C-alpha cells in the first residue's frame, strides 16, 4: 500500500478478515486490491500474517457492506473477527525531539538528522505538517520524505496503538550528508523523531462520538433520555414527529454497538434508531 496522506481520514471502526487456508492468501489480497482500485474511499490495513487484513469504515452499515463485498468477491473461505472500535490519540502539550541516523566522522551507511516539534491543535482541525528546513535544492526531497514519515507515524501511532490526530508537526532542523543521505533515511528518522516527541507530549486517548436519532412514543421520551445519560450519552435536541418524538443524542460508539437491542428491550419495540448514526467528533475517553 502507498504511504498514508499527511492528514488521512481516521475511521472509527475496523474488522479483521483473514483467509482460512494459507493457499488463499493471494486471492484475498487480490480481492482487496481490486476493491480499492474501484472505490477510492475504501480503507484497509495489512496484518502481520499473510492473508490477514483489517477493513476500516465510518459506520456500522458501511463496514458490513464492505465486508460482504469482499467475502462474496474472493471465492474462498475466510474468517472474520468482531467489530472493533478504534482509539485515537492527541498531544496534550508541545514537545520536541531529534533522531540521528549514522555519523559524519568517517562512517558508512545512511546519514540523517531530523528534529521535530509537535504542537496541539483544536479538536477537529486535523494534522498539519510544516517545514523550516531550507537550503540547497536537494533538501526539497528530504522535506518530502520527512512529510511521508510524519504521515506514516501519525497513522500508526506510538507502538501501533492508534492514529494521532489534531496536531501540527514542524520540521525545525536537520542535517544531511552530500553522499550518504537519502530520502529513505530522512523518512526513517522522521518516524523515530515523531514517536519520541509524542511520548514526551503526554498523549490523550480519544474515542468516537456518534450522533444518533431515536424515534420514541411520547410516554417513552423520559425513560429513553435517562437511559442514554447512564450510558454516557448527551441529548442534543428534540422534535415532534407524526408517530412520536425524535430525540437526537451524542453517544459513544462503543455503547452504540449494543444499544439497538437494549433500546428494543427497554421500550418493548416502541422506540427505534432512525437512519445511520454518523461520526461527529472524537472526545477524551473515560478513565476505566
Query: Is the predicted pLDDT of residue 244 greater than 80, yes or no?
Result: yes
Cβ(155)–Cβ(115) below 8 Å: no
> What domains appear along the chain, each with residue ranges and CATH number?
13-86 (3.30.70.870), 89-202 (3.30.230.10), 205-284 (3.30.70.240)
> Residues 91-116: what's their mean pLDDT?
87
Instruction: Identify the band that residue 105 occupies on the pLDDT scale cut at 50, 70 and 90.
Output: low
Q: What is the mean pLDDT of the chain?
A: 90
b/e for 81-109, b at 16 or more Cβ within 10 A?
A: eebbebbbbbbeeebbbbbbbbeeeeeee
> Residues 159-175: what's their mean pLDDT?
93
Residue labelled with grid coordinates 528530504? 142
> Residues 164-182: what's their mean pLDDT?
93
Instruction: Identify the band that residue 3 occupies on the pLDDT scale cut at 50, 70 and 90.
Output: very low
Q: What is the pLDDT of residues 185-201, one digit of tens each?
A: 999 999 999 999 999 99
pTM score, whole prediction: 0.79
Coil vs helix vs strand at 218: helix
The C-alpha atoms of residue 92 and residue 115 are separated, in whole angstroms, by: 19
> Residues 244-269: what's their mean pLDDT?
94
Amino acid at each position: 500500500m502507498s504511504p498514508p496522506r499527511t492528514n488521512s481520514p481516521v475511521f472509527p471502526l475496523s474488522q479483521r478478515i483473514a483467509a482460512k487456508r494459507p493457499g488463499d492468501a493471494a486471492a484475498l489480497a487480490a480481492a482487496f486490491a481490486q476493491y480499492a482500485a474501484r472505490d477510492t474511499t475504501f480503507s484497509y490495513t495489512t496484518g502481520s500474517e499473510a492473508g490477514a487484513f483489517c477493513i476500516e469504515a465510518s459506520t456500522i452499515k458501511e463496514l458490513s457492506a464492505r465486508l460482504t463485498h469482499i467475502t462474496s468477491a474472493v471465492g474462498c473461505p475466510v474468517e472474520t473477527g468482531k467489530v472493533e472500535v478504534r482509539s485515537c490519540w492527541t498531544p496534550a502539550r508541545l514537545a520536541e525531539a531529534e533522531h540521528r541516523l549514522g555519523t559524519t566522522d568517517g562512517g558508512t551507511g545512511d546519514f540523517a538528522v531530523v528534529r521535530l516539534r509537535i504542537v496541539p491543535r483544536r479538536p477537529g482541525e486535523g494534522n498539519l505538517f510544516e517545514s523550516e528546513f531550507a537550503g540547497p535544492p536537494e533538501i526539497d526531497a528530504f522535506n518530502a520524505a520527512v512529510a511521508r514519515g510524519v504521515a506514516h507515524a501519525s497513522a500508526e501511532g506510538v507502538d501501533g496503538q492508534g492514529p494521532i490526530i489534531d496536531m501540527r508537526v514542524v520540521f525545525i532542523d536537520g542535517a544531511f550528508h552530500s553522499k550518504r543521505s537519502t530520502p529513505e533515511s530522512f523518512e526513517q528518522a522522521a518516524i523515530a523523531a515523531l514517536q519520541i516527541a509524542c511520548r514526551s507530549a503526554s498523549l490523550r486517548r480519544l474515542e468516537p462520538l456518534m450522533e444518533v436519532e431515536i424515534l420514541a412514543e411520547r410516554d417513552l421520551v423520559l425513560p429513553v433520555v435517562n437511559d442514554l445519560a447512564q450510558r454516557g450519552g448527551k441529548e442534543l435536541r428534540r422534535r415532534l414527529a407524526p408517530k412520536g418524538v425524535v430525540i437526537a443524542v451524542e453517544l459513544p460508539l462503543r455503547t452504540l454497538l449494543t444499544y439497538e437491542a437494549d433500546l428494543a428491550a427497554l421500550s418493548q419495540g416502541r422506540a427505534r434508531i432512525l437512519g445511520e448514526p454518523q461520526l461527529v467528533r472524537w472526545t477524551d475517553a473515560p478513565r476505566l
